[in-house]
Amino acid sequence: MVMIIILAVLMLAMFWMSSRQRKAQRTALEFVDSLTPGQRVMTASGYVGTVVAIDGDQYTLESVPGGGTTVWVKGAIRKRVDDAATVDVEASPEAQTQAQDEAVQDFVVPDDVSKLIERPSSEGTAK
Domain carrying residue 22? 1-34
Instruction: Please check whether residues 41 and 95 belong to one and the same domain.
Output: yes
Establish if 46 belongs to a structural domain: yes
pTM assigned to the model: 0.50
Distance (Å, whole) CA 76 – CA 35 = 13
pLDDT in tens, 63-122: 888 888 999 998 889 888 876 544 444 556 666 666 666 665 666 666 676 766 776 666
13-17, 33-37, 79-83: range with lowest mean pLDDT: 79-83
Which CATH number fits the domain that encloses residue 60? 2.30.30
Counting the structural domains of the chain, the total is 2
Handedness of CA 113, 115, 121, 127 (dihedral sign): positive
